[in-house]
Amino acid sequence: MFPGLSESRNHTGCYFDRAPEKLVLEGYRRWTAGFETGSVVAWEMAYGLYSEILGDRNGNHALSELSYFVRTLRHCALCPLKTFPFGSHHVCREECMILGLVAGLQNCDMVAARTCLNAMACPSRHEEVENAAIAFAETLVELDQVLLPIPKSAIDDIISRPMRAKYH
C-alpha cells in the first residue's frame, strides 16, 4: 500500500483488490509480459481480466487503450520497464508511477501526474506518453473505474528510494 493513502469509505481490504487498481496494475503487468515473452498467453489473461470486470465490449475498448498506453510507454521510457509477477501484492517503482499517473489524471491532480510522467518518460516523449495515459484514464472513468488518489508526497517518497534490481 502507498504511504499516506487512505482507503475508500465503501471498500475495506486490499487496495489492489479494488477493480480500478486491479485493471491498471494487473493489466499493465500482463500486457508488459506479453511484450517481453512474445507469448499471447499473457495478453489473453489481460483480456480475461478486463472482460470479467467490464464485460466483453467495454473490456475490449479499455484493453485497447491499455495496449496503446503500454506500447507508447515502452518506446518512450527512460529505462526498461519493470513489473512484479501477476497477482503480487507488492509494487515496484515503475508500477507505482503507472498507478500514480493514471490516478493523478483521473483525480485532476496534475502535479502528481506530471511527477510520475517525469520519472518514467524521456522528456522529448512526454506528450506522447501523456496523451496515451489520458486516453486510458478517461476510458476507465467512462466505465466508472476511478482509482483512489495517490498523494504527491507518497509518489515523491517512492521516487526518492534507491532503485533495485529487475523484478521481472
Of 91, 94, 86, 146, residue with least CA distance to 120? 94
- pLDDT on residue 29: 95
Angle between helices 56-76 and 40-54 (to 10 degrees): 130
The phi and psi torsions of 86 (rounded to 5 degrees) equal -50, 140
Q: How far is CA 146 from the centre of its chain?
A: 12
Residues in the chain, pLDDT under 70: 1-13, 78, 163-168
Name the grid cell of 93. Answer: 517503482
- pLDDT on residue 164: 58
- pLDDT on residue 43: 94
- pLDDT on residue 76: 81
- pLDDT on residue 12: 52
- pLDDT on residue 1: 33
- pLDDT on residue 59: 96
pTM over the 0.85 mark: yes
Q: Domains of the chain: which residue ranges?
A: 16-160
Sign of CA dihedral 81, 154, 84, 163: positive
